[in-house]
Structure 1
């Protein structure tokens, strides 16, 4: 994807009405283009292989292959494709599995429509985006195995600059925007992000964002 090109999205949901609603919202953003639609997870994987979108927006519950399995398979086959999961409050138990499968975003079907475009853009830029209304629930889904005090101890190993970067990761901000916020070059931000993941022993930006919430450095 070039800077001027629209974000290419694969949309997968087994409910035609939901697909139509999401498509209509995305159509209102000239910087986003829906390149394919699927009614189940198996079809989503096949269309991802064919169209190679920037972002795969997947419902969790779909026939044949659900969104979790489809997202994990898309990430395995096409690591450059960001996976964003559409969820509801009643599906918290699936979120940890989605993270393990490489999902980088979580959006509520009942959320503010503006979150949909914001989350897709963030995912396309390499950021982790958690819908503000489910951020705390994501933490709870992870089992709270690391309590606030323990999370604060883990974050304490970071330098002040790394803590600043981690806080912005927790807000779902891309490397480019972090660079602008902190008056750094993007390459330096990437170095900081890599160091943060290593120091905190987390696998991806989503887990880093969750730890930032746990430690209390993100509201």
Structure 2
């Protein structure tokens, strides 16, 4: 039941790490949050050529009839960044939230960056509703607590997350860009980074606590 939450588009070191976690090379790319932009989908076919067997899942104009079987036949579900709230709404409309949970419980690696990292948590800090960051409490809930990506990439993230948590928002994990947080089941297993001094943090009403991160080579 692995989940890999990434802050920022994965570079080559992080992509190698991601593929190394999977039980096979069948990757399902889900760009719902990014409006299923064709160029993004094509870029992933090019990037993974010769390294993985890629299939993409689009919900427009409508999802495939074999949505469940398609998902469960893959080793990795890779969720793109974008608008978290919109992606969650679309998935729930088509019952894909339940499919993702079944895939996770079956051992499929769930991975993604930005929106594709925070969607797995109960709550998240998001700009889905406009430039002002808000605390969203209706994530998929596979992982307890909250998450905030781009912690060192956008200056307003750190103070806003701290403010939200002080005011009763669930405590959780903040993730610097170029960092991956791996969970096995619901337990944090490892923090990895492809950039020196970047890491993840436990954030609570008492403040933040940096987590030890392994630097990928």
* Same fold at TM > 0.5: no
Q: TM-score under structure 2 normalisation?
A: 0.42
Pick 1 or 2: higher relative contact order, CA cutoff 8 A, min separation 6.
2
Q: Which has the higher helix share?
A: 1
Q: TM-score under structure 1 normalisation?
A: 0.41
